[in-house]
Structure 1
């Protein structure tokens, strides 16, 4: 789900701690938030091959791309592995918890920066005709690739219109419940967000209309650079662009709300929100975003897993991380998709695309433009909706807490309450929820309600799916003996305390 500041990104990955596994209680994954492509992807090292022609030689164009950096995740960008080591983190929502170290992802590219070798000349007039057709096809393919590369390079700052005869294709009637029907309804309510900080750093991400007052939901890491004195714009698919401002942002949840300036209500059609608790593995998904700056891109897939523990860093170097119990999807998500809607088959929003798995570093991160490998992660909309409402109401996020610090060390046995809290404070807050429930330093929490807890970040992400005041059942081990207790979650306001 790669957090990239530039725009376009956490369960466990098989090769790095924590890595996505088949169990819902997998260790949290460091992830890369799929934000926007702040850098232009380079052309491929090997040119595309036309069927029936011999393999081509290496590309002649540039070979390397600069990694896109992001402020928090799915933006969408690559972040480091989930926090591990002997660091303690307040499960009560105390801030800032340690972030996973950023791990650069190698850049990828596409385009037509290469030369096609001349095909062998067949004998005879018929052979000559075939050769001419092949040459024409190769030329057309190279031209098309060149146009695509130019559009990506321009990062959607301009547009290209090509007039062709559709021979009545546009008159075809499509089922409103088909993917084409859902996309036609949802696209007018999505926006491509361009964020730029006062230092010039920024990138491209995605957002969608939340209400008719001009509020847009997106990822925190998409807009983080523009929070203090930066510049924000949101562009609709019809080309209309509006200036925007940040209403509120939540680093821990990786959710932000911006508000459009001077946007007429006729332009604002909120997307319907679904119920992420009722989503099932195998349900169809539709993702909309601006991967690598290619706005209004629609991809499809299914729900691959639920409740994936994900921990992602924004790649900014700050000691902050985002934790989520994510929806996993194989819909293609790339840098630039961050903040965009993940829809169900009816067109209702079930999640916010936030992070992606990076294949080359075994983890999640936000400092590179890794591409989709079919492992994307979205913040469940039930959680995102609650956070957005709090941000609109007060401008500050509200986190649920149990009032105890746990180890962020990689583990499979549970979340252990540390002997000492952050900065020498008490590991169990005196008079806090955990203290009232009888929890003590050294206890190892193994379950929260029916969810298996295998590490500290997993516990944090699961707690943050709840609201302050919720009652949860905690299963823990003390001296090898299993116990259960009920905890009434407390609250903490803001990202720093």
Structure 2
């Protein structure tokens, strides 16, 4: 089993980002040493510590640089956020923000006038979409996207968007973790996508922030805020400080293909080339994924899997539901080989599968 399958996975998630900036005070330490001591002399020559005022100024500069590139997107039923992608009026957002609609009302930072935009394409498998302004206003400012390889746990980030319809709102937090695999609920308009390599952040996420910007202190967009964790045992109550953003690298990969071809031509996501359904055991507990159909000439078909087989494991990762199957494959790439454990007529067997592509 690939090491990527050992990554932490988070289930039962959903929603978008929020507002309000907090200043952090950094205080230098004190010493009992006399003013003539070596320690005191070293202190005099050391660089001055960053003050609360310095950090506040840095926050304000980032907001001035990036907020004009964050827009509010209105549909017939809801509001969301988006990020200006280029000077031609392309805007990237979440697929669950655009839903099934094809035209939108967009409010940009360059004026109060509401602009009309049209759908270019939606890619629900990664919960991303691109829309385009019908008329590009003067002064439209594209955002600068950062390098996902340089994102590190502990970095300060700001989340920008329109939570609860409050446009141009900002919240702050840190990058809490990297490489999360998250399954999005279909409830509340979610796509049901399983998304790998998400950036986890402590920045507050509320409905309406979806599709906005997660930004570092270099004024670079490092992710598109997409989900907030919820606690299933607490009546789906949002879990404070646990939010997720699609990394900038994936955003750019999908957006560039949509803008060039009108669709995603190379997803980079692995597939077994099957359709399946979750089955339950005698105790009515999820127990595997039964193959309902197998694409002729596809990955599973070439490996000898057939309709009626029940997948129970990918590598060392147990598979009990369709969601867990998606999560088990989320970090793999097309062309990689995995061991699939399955049941056929009650007997357990394994197959080496060369993965296809979604």
TM-score, normalised via structure 2 length: 0.71
Q: Which residue of 2 aligns with 1:192?
A: 72
1:207 aligns with 2:82: yes
Q: Distance in 2 between matches of 1:270 and 1:431?
A: 42
Residue aligning to 1:332 = 204
Structure 1, unmatched stretches of 5+, are 1-22, 37-171, 197-201, 365-369, 492-497
Map of 1:161 onto structure 2: none
Counterpart in 1 of 2:147? Answer: 274
**Does 1:356 pair with 2:228?**
yes
C-alpha contact 1:29 1:363 (8 A) present in aligned 2: no
Deviations 1:85-104 (A, max 9, x none): xxxxxxxxxxxxxxxxxxxx
User: 2:351 and 2:151 mapped to 1: Cα distance?
Assistant: 29
Alpha-carbon distance in structure 2 between the residues aligned to 1:25 and 1:309: 9
Distance in 1 between residues matched to 2:138 and 2:56, nearest whole Å:
24
Aligned residue number for residue 62 of structure 1:
none
In structure 1, distance between residues paired with 2:277 and 2:216: 36
Q: Give the Cα–Cα distance (whole angstroms) in 2 for the partners of residues 375 and 385 of structure 1.
A: 24
Aligned length: 307
CA distance in 1, matches of 2:82, 2:280: 33
Match of 1:34 among 10, 13, 16: 16
Matches within 5 A, 1:204-283: 204-224=79-99, 226-227=101-102, 230-236=103-109, 239=112, 241-264=114-137, 266-275=139-148, 279-283=151-155
Unmatched segments (≥5 aa) in structure 2: 1-5, 19-51
Quick check: 1:205–1:339 contact (8 Å CA) kept in 2? yes
The corresponding residue for 2:337 is 473
SS at match of 2:258: helix
Q: Is the 8 A contact 1:188 1:236 kept in 2?
A: yes
C-alpha separation in 2, matches of 1:357 and 1:390: 29
1:100-142 Cα shifts (integer Å, max 9, x gaps): xxxxxxxxxxxxxxxxxxxxxxxxxxxxxxxxxxxxxxxxxxx
Instruction: Name the structure, 1 or 2, with higher relative contact order (CA <8 Å, separation 6+).
Output: 1
Assess if the C-alpha contact under 8 Å between 1:471 and 1:488 holds in 2.
yes
Q: Structure 2 vs 1, CA of residues 323 and 454 (structure 1 numbering), >3 Å: closer, same or farther?
A: same
Give yes or no for contact 2:146–2:221 (8 Å, CA) kept in 1. Answer: yes
Question: Does 2:249 correspond to 1:382?
Answer: yes
Equivalent residues in 2 for 1:2-401 (5 A)? 24-26=7-9, 28-34=10-16, 178-196=58-76, 202-224=77-99, 226-227=101-102, 230-236=103-109, 239=112, 241-264=114-137, 266-275=139-148, 279-305=151-177, 306-316=179-189, 321-325=192-196, 326-359=198-231, 362=234, 373-397=240-264, 400=269, 401=271
Deviations 1:378-415 (A, max 9, x none): 2223223222223223333455432123444699xx99
Cα distance in structure 1, aligned partners of 2:157 and 2:134: 31
Instruction: Report which stretch shifted further, 202-211 or 379-388.
Output: 379-388
Q: Distance in 2 between matches of 1:238 and 1:284?
A: 29
Aligned CA distance change for structure 1 residues 442 and 458 (closer, same or farther; 3 Å)? closer
CA distance in 2, matches of 1:397, 1:185: 30
Distance 1:311 1:431 in 2: 30
Cα distance in 2 between the residues matched to 1:429 and 1:187? 46
Provide Cα deviations, 1:433-455, integer angstroms capped at 9, x if missing partner: 1222455623433349xx88775
Per-residue CA distance 1:280-326 (angstroms, 9 max, x = gap): 4333332111111111111122233332322221535x9x6222223
Question: By how many angstroms is 1:210 displaced?
Answer: 1.0
Q: Is the 8 A contact 2:105 2:114 kept in 1?
A: no
Aligned-pair CA distance for 1:225: 5.3
RMSD: 3.8
CA distance in 1: counterparts of 2:328 and 2:67, whole angstroms: 32
Rate the CA distance shift 1:174–1:213 in 2: closer, same or farther, 3 A: farther
Q: Residue 208 of structure 2: SS of its match in structure 1? A: coil
| Distance of 1:247 and 1:435 partners within structure 2 | 34
Query: Does the 8 Å contact 1:342/1:352 carry over to 2?
Result: yes
